[in-house]
Structure 1
Amino acid sequence: MTDNTPQNSLTLLGLGDMGTALARTWLAAGHRPTVWNRTAAKAEVLAAEGAVTAASPAEAVAANRLVVVCLLDDASVGSALDGIDLTGKDIVNLTTGTPAEGRARAAWAEARGARFVDGGIMATPTMIGVPEAGGYVFYSGSRALFDTHRATLEVPAGARFVGEDPGHAALHDVALLSAMYGMFAGVSHAYALTEGEDIAPEDLAPLLSEWLGAMGFFIGNAAERLTSRDFTSGVVSNLAMQVAGSGTLLRTAEEQGVSAELISPYLELMRSRLTADPAAHGGEDTAGAITLLKR
């Protein structure tokens, strides 16, 4: 039986670490979510905390208009919802996926009579329900769905709508995560260089944080240059100089017995930009190298 009362206003499919954190946050806010998980024991734990359990995805979907999906991958979403009547449902997919998967899943849901929003969670499970932790979720797809359920979606974490293209939530998610891993790579290389020296990691840590913070200006600078396509005005440290200096980074890594595999791809990208036309690119900002990455 469908129950769309405020106290039982959503269905949640998937109770991994993230799904469980979402469910508990909604419960704490006064919602009474209907939950389903392939391993029923996880749902039973939440039942003891006030959630309604469903024996199958179909039963869970039938319970509410708003259906939040937080499963392992896109294939799991298709498997869980296969053959279920989605007419009139609002599907919010918080399963990690690619932009293409988000667009395809939106078309799949809409063909079955449902509205669809894809999401990209920029938080760990421990950040869910903790506003001061700064976690949030990117959403894209049906603006009408997002506006209808925004108050509910904002309970676990902040909500940022990034457009009606269903692939844009995943694209924003992966773009930010890619930048994060790039930073992790540089930090890892820095620690490896000093490993075994009389330099304590605890002493290097604040220096790294301070330096990376100071270099954060590159983010906005690169955005402006990519928009204007002007890579030469107001350049402080040009490409030719940085490529010339990159040899020192590589020689130091060799001297320290450290692989340069984490930094050499970016150094090589800068070199490729320069050697393509030294006269044209030598005086540029390094942001011009970004244009080489598009295939």
Structure 2
Amino acid sequence: MITNPPVTVLGLGLMGQALAGTFLRAGHPTTVWNRTASKAEHLVAQGATLAGSPAEAVAASPLVVVCVSDYAAVHELLDPLVLDGKVVVNLTSGTTQTARETAAWAAQRGVTYLDGAIMAIPQAIGTADAVVLYSGPRSAFDSYEPVLKSLAAATTYLGDDHGLSSLYDVALLGLMWSVLNGFLQGAALVGAAGVDASVFEPFARNLIGTVGDWLPPYAKQIDDGTYPAYDSTIDTHLGAMDHLIDESESLGVNPDLPRLIKAVADRAVAAGHGGHGYAAMIEQFRKSPGE
């Protein structure tokens, strides 16, 4: 088990700076590189070593952490380098396809590759609020888990498939945007009556917590493929969706979001799920466009 190796961080945007700073505070000798060297100044002041080139940076450490704008930038950075024998942890956001393609590229070059997804803002790195997901060879994750745990208490290994971290990332982002968009729609509605968003917020937060408690039984229904209507049917939900659309239109609030929600529910009813519980909507999300 490797517990205190030197680490190289390539890319010093806000997230890359947070990663490097956290490694330093955890006691890891940290080498950094960035196209704009001035971004490393405060890290150097904390004890980091600024490499003069990417090649010099990767030569300094067995573990190379990459966090740049996209996978094209990852390859522009890494393709010219000799990385044989290195463990590369890529924390750049992307897709399952780009993650798997990069894993194949790494295998051809003798590189041990872990793909990762950061579910946190830069300020949360190194705290209990940070979540970082990893996928790739289990042996590599196990070897460097103590190092990676310095970035996030919730450091989770998902499996050998390099695409899993990106897949979880986009799936959770979709959930985040759905929650935030629902809150914004609600704030716009009550705002039409002169109610401040800060007044509405505790009610929204309470409901979000309640809905969160519904997820375990919903997940079981989805896994079992059965959707009993314990509380309400999709047909009943449709009536409430109509109320939301009508209220939005009457108050001059954009009704696009509730219309989209109702359109999916309408398709579920047309497919014979009107008498089922809301979890039956999963069958619509599983369909390709046009099906």
The answer to whether the superposition gives a TM-score over 0.5 is: yes
Residue aligning to 1:82 = 79
Task: Say which of 66, 85, 105 aligns to 1:69.
Answer: 66
Residue aligning to 1:143 = 138
Task: Say which of 270, 288, 291 aligns to 1:275.
Answer: 270
Task: Say which of 21, 36, 40 aligns to 1:39.
Answer: 36
Residues 1:227 and 2:219 aligned together: no
Q: Give SS of 1:215's match.
A: helix
Residues 1:263 and 2:255 aligned together: no
Distance in 1, Cα, partners of 2:157 & 2:5 = 24
Does the 8 Å contact 1:8/1:34 carry over to 2? Answer: no
Residues 1:287 and 2:284 aligned together: no
Distance in 2, Cα, partners of 1:34 & 1:71 = 16
Task: Say which of 164, 167, 178 aligns to 1:168.
Answer: 164
Distance in 2, Cα, partners of 1:293 & 1:7 = 45
Q: Give SS of 2:97's match.
A: helix
Q: Equivalences for 1:186-205 in 2 at 5 Å? A: 186-205=182-201
Does the 8 Å contact 2:3/2:144 carry over to 1? Answer: no
Provide the aligned C-alpha RMSD in A. Answer: 1.5
Q: Give SS of 1:245's match.
A: helix
Task: Say which of 164, 180, 188 aligns to 1:184.
Answer: 180
Does the 8 Å contact 1:6/1:31 carry over to 2? Answer: no
Alpha-carbon distance, 1:235 to partner: 2.3
Matched residues, number:
285
Task: Say which of 97, 114, 119 aligns to 2:116.
Answer: 119
Residues 1:15 and 2:7 aligned together: no
Q: Give SS of 1:166's match.
A: coil
Structure 1: gaps of 5 or more residues: none
For structure 1, which segment, 241-250 or 167-176, has the greater mean C-alpha deviation from structure 2 after superposition? 241-250
Task: Say which of 148, 171, 196 aligns to 1:153.
Answer: 148
Alpha-carbon distance, 1:288 to partner: 1.2
Distance in 2, Cα, partners of 1:245 & 1:71 = 44
Alpha-carbon distance, 1:6 to partner: 7.4
Q: Give SS of 1:129's match.
A: coil
Distance in 2, Cα, partners of 1:39 & 1:73 = 17
1:275 to 1:7, Cα distance in 2 relative to 1, 3 A: closer
Could you tell me the percent identity over the aligned residues? 39
Structure 2: gaps of 5 or more residues: none
For structure 1, which segment, 243-252 or 12-21, has the greater mean C-alpha deviation from structure 2 after superposition? 243-252
Task: Say which of 18, 25, 50 aligns to 1:53.
Answer: 50
Alpha-carbon distance, 1:246 to partner: 1.7
Distance in 2, Cα, partners of 1:13 & 1:258 = 45
TM-score, normalised by the number of residues in structure 1: 0.92
Does the 8 Å contact 2:9/2:65 carry over to 1? Answer: yes
Distance in 1, Cα, partners of 2:166 & 2:106 = 17
Does the 8 Å contact 1:12/1:35 carry over to 2? Answer: yes
Alpha-carbon distance, 1:120 to partner: 0.5
